[in-house]
Structure 1
Amino acid sequence: MKFRASFASAAFNKSIRQAVALSTTLAAALLLLGSEPAQAQAWPTKAVKMIVPFPAGAAPDVVARLLADRLTHAWGQSVYVENRPGAGAIPGMSTLARSPSDGYTIGFVPAAAITLTPALYKAPQYNVDTDIVPVAIVATGPMMVAVNSQTGITSLAELSTYAKAHPGKVNFAAAQPNSVPHLTGEMLSRSAGLNLFTIPYSGSQTAVTAVLAGDATLTVDGLPALVQHVKAGKLRAIAVTSAKRLPGFEDVPAVAETYPGFDSLGWFVLFVPTGVPSQIVEQMNRDVNKAVQDTDLIARFAELGVYPRPGNAAAAKAFLLEQRAAWKKNVAELGLQPQ
C-alpha cells in the first residue's frame, strides 16, 4: 500500500510538472508571437535620418525633402535629411550600408548608385546585393533631348541628318561624366548612328549653359534642368527618353517612336540597410505609397519632372533587377571599364 501510494504521489507530481512546463512553453510562444507586432507598432519612437547623396538644393534633394515632410506627418517623428554628395553617390551609399538595421536610417537612392556605380568603380564601398534592400519606388524621372533653338533642328530625324552632314562636329554636352543622362546620350548616339562628340561638364547647369551659348549642339538631362529654357524658347525639346510621351509634354515624341525599344529613366528608390525587420519595411512601403499618391505631392513632383510609381517592395525589387540588367548591357555595349 505504501508503495502504491508513493507511486501515485510521484505520478501526480510528474503530471503537475508537465502541466507547468507546458503552460510555460505556451506562454513563451504566445509572448514571442505577440512581440513582433508590438515591436513593429512601436516604430518609430525617435527621429528617422534620410541620407540623400545629392547637394542641398539640387532637384533630387528637393524631391527627397518633400517626401521627408510627408513621412514626418505619417510617422509622428521627424524625418530629417542628411546630404552626403560625392562621386557615384559613394559617400552616401557607403554610410547607408554601414548604418544600424533598426529602421532609423533610410536612403533616398538614385538610379546611378544601383545601376552604374557598381559597374564603373572597382571599389564602390558598398554591395547592392548584400548591404541594402529596397523599400519602395518613390518616382521616376525621364529625360529630355534638347538642342539650341537656333540650330533649326526640330526632331531626332533632323538631328540625324544634321549629324551626318557635319561628321564629328555635333557636340554633346554631357552633364557629369558617366551619369545616367550622359550614358543615355551615348546610347542615343549609338542607336541613331549620330557619332556625337562628347564634351563632359561638371553638372547640369554648365552643360545647359554650353548649349545655350552654342558651344554644344545638344544635351540630355532631367526635366528640371531644361524645362524653363524650353518654355522660354531658348532650347527645343526634340524627344523624351521614356518609352512613351509624358503628361504635360504630349507634343514631344519619345525616342522610341524613332528608335524602337529605347527607354531610359532616372529614378529614386527608398532603401534601408539589410536586416531591418520586415514589419518595419512593410510599414515604410505602405506609408511611402500613400504619400506619393497625395494629389498635392503629385503636383509638386510634376513641377520637378518626376512621376510617382507606387508599388510593393517586391515590385521595387523586380524593377531594380530589370534596370540593373539593362544598364549592365548598356555599359558593356559602350565598352566602359571599372576605374
Structure 2
Amino acid sequence: MTDRRHLLRRALSTLATLAVPAATIVAPAPAAAQAWPAKPVRLIVPAAAGAAPDVIARLLAERLGAAWGQSLIVDNRPGAGGIPGMSALARSANDGYTLGFVPAAMGTITPLVYRNPQFNPETELTSVATVGTSPLVLVTAAGSGITSLTDLAKAAKARPGQLNFAAPQPNSLPHLAGELMAKSGNLALYTVPYPGPPQAVSAVLAGDVTLTADGLPGLLPHIRAGRLKALAVTSGQRLPGLDIPTVAETFPGYELVGWFQILAPTGTPQPVIDKVNAEVNRILATPEIVSRLGELGIYPRRDSVAGAREFFASQQKAMRRLVAELGVQAQ
C-alpha cells in the first residue's frame, strides 16, 4: 500500500510539472549577454592620438565605459591608410573584447586603393553601430577673388592649367572629394599632394594653391576668422547653422561625406553587438554629445545593427563606383 501511495504521489508531481504554462519556463540568457563586459574592452582606432577620429573615439569610450562599469582602452594604430589598425582589428579574437572605431576612408577606400590592404571588410569585419556623418568643406583663401564654385569654374576656364587643388594625403576622402568636384564641373585643376590636411590648409592660406577640402573642425576657425572662404559643402543638404551652399547646387548629383562606425571582428556574439549598438545610440541621443559632436562637424546617425550594415554596404558600393570613375589605381 505504501508503495502504491508513493507511486501515486510521484505521478501527480510529474503531471503538475507538465501542466506549468510554457510561458513560465524561461531559458537562461546567453553567457555573453549576461557577463559582457567582464573585463576592459579594447577600442582600436586606425588614426593618431589627437586626430579627429581619436577625439571622437575617446569621447564615446569614456561614456561607454561609465555605462558598463569597465574601461574601454583606446589603442591607436595610425599609418598606411589605416592598414595597421584595420588589420589588427580583423585578426583580433571575436569574443566581444575588441572593437574598432573606423572612419570612412579606412573602411571603404583603403581596401580599394592598396594592392595588399591586409584585411577584407566584407569577410573579416561587421558593422555594429553608426556614430555619424561628417561632411567636407571646399575652401579657398579669402583673398583669392573666388567666392563660389561658379567663380571657380569661370577662373578655371579663363586660366586653364593654372588653378590647383591641395590634396591632403593621396587617395584620402578629401582628395577624392576634390577630384570628384573637378570632374563634376569639368574643371581643369592640377592636383598637388600634401602629407595631410594641416599642410594642405597652410598651402591655401599662403596662396601656394587655389583650394582644398577638409572636415569642418580644422577649417571653421579659419573660416570664422575670415582667412578662408567656404565655397561649398559636400553633403546633399546645407548644414544647420552654416550658410554654405552644397556642391550639388552648382554641380547637380554631387554628394560625398565622411562617416564613422564601430566595427567588430566577424563572429562577435550577437548579444554583444546588440548591447553595443543600443548603448551607442543612447549616448548619441544625449544633448551634451549632440552638441559636442556638432562642434566637431559630426552629425549623429543612430542606426540599428541592420541599418549600420546596410549603410556600410551602400558606402562600399559608392566608393567602388567613385574609384572606378576617377580611374584610381591601386598602389
TM-score, with structure 1 as normaliser:
0.89
State which of 330, 334, 339 in structure 1 corresponds to 2:322: 330
Aligned to 2:247: 255
Q: CA deviation at 1:73?
A: 1.2
State which of 222, 231, 251 in structure 2 corresponds to 1:238: 231
Q: CA deviation at 1:332?
A: 0.6
For residues 267-306 of structure 1, the aligned pairs below 5 Å read 267-306=259-298
Aligned to 1:207: 200
5+ long unaligned stretches in structure 1:
1-11, 24-29
The amino acid across from 2:211 in the alignment is L
Counterpart secondary structure, 2:50? coil
Counterpart secondary structure, 1:34? coil
Give the distance between the partners of 2:320 and 2:67, measured in 1 at CA. 37
Counterpart secondary structure, 2:128? strand
Counterpart secondary structure, 2:226? coil
The amino acid across from 1:290 in the alignment is R
Q: CA deviation at 1:235?
A: 0.3
Aligned to 1:166: 159
Give the distance between the partners of 1:217 and 1:90, measured in 2 at CA. 31
Give the distance between the partners of 1:276 and 1:59, measured in 2 at CA. 27
Aligned to 1:42: 35
For residues 85-100 of structure 1, the aligned pairs below 5 Å read 85-100=78-93
Native 8 Å contact 2:49 2:76 kept in 1: yes
The amino acid across from 2:85 in the alignment is G
Counterpart secondary structure, 2:88? helix
Give the distance between the partners of 2:99 and 2:169, measured in 1 at CA. 26
Aligned to 1:27: none
Aligned to 1:8: none
State which of 147, 151, 156 in structure 2 corresponds to 1:154: 147
RMSD of Structure 2 on Structure 1 (CA): 1.6
Counterpart secondary structure, 2:116? coil
CA displacement, residues 128-154 of structure 1 (integer Å, 9 cap, x when unaligned) = 111110001011110001011101211
For residues 85-124 of structure 1, the aligned pairs below 5 Å read 85-124=78-117
Aligned to 1:74: 67
Call closer, same or farther: CA 1:39–1:114 in 2, change over 3 Å.
closer
The amino acid across from 2:161 in the alignment is G
CA displacement, residues 237-285 of structure 1 (integer Å, 9 cap, x when unaligned) = 0100000000121x10011111122111111100011111111100100
Q: Is 1:138 equivalent to 2:139 in the alignment?
A: no
Aligned to 1:316: 308
The amino acid across from 2:284 in the alignment is V
Give the distance between the partners of 1:74 and 1:259, measured in 2 at CA. 45
Give the distance between the partners of 2:32 and 2:232, measured in 1 at CA. 49
Counterpart secondary structure, 1:238? strand
State which of 47, 53, 65 in structure 1 corresponds to 2:46: 53
Segments ≥4 residues shifted beyond 3 Å:
none
Q: CA deviation at 1:114?
A: 2.1
The amino acid across from 2:269 in the alignment is P
Give the total of aligned pairs.
Answer: 311
CA displacement, residues 17-71 of structure 1 (integer Å, 9 cap, x when unaligned) = xx9xxx9xxxxxx89x4251x4302110111111001110112211111011111
Give the distance between the partners of 2:137 and 2:238, measured in 1 at CA. 11
Larger radius of gyration: 1
Aligned to 1:126: 119
The amino acid across from 2:208 in the alignment is D
Native 8 Å contact 2:46 2:106 kept in 1: no
Give the distance between the partners of 2:240 and 2:151, measured in 1 at CA. 24
TM-score, with structure 2 as normaliser:
0.91
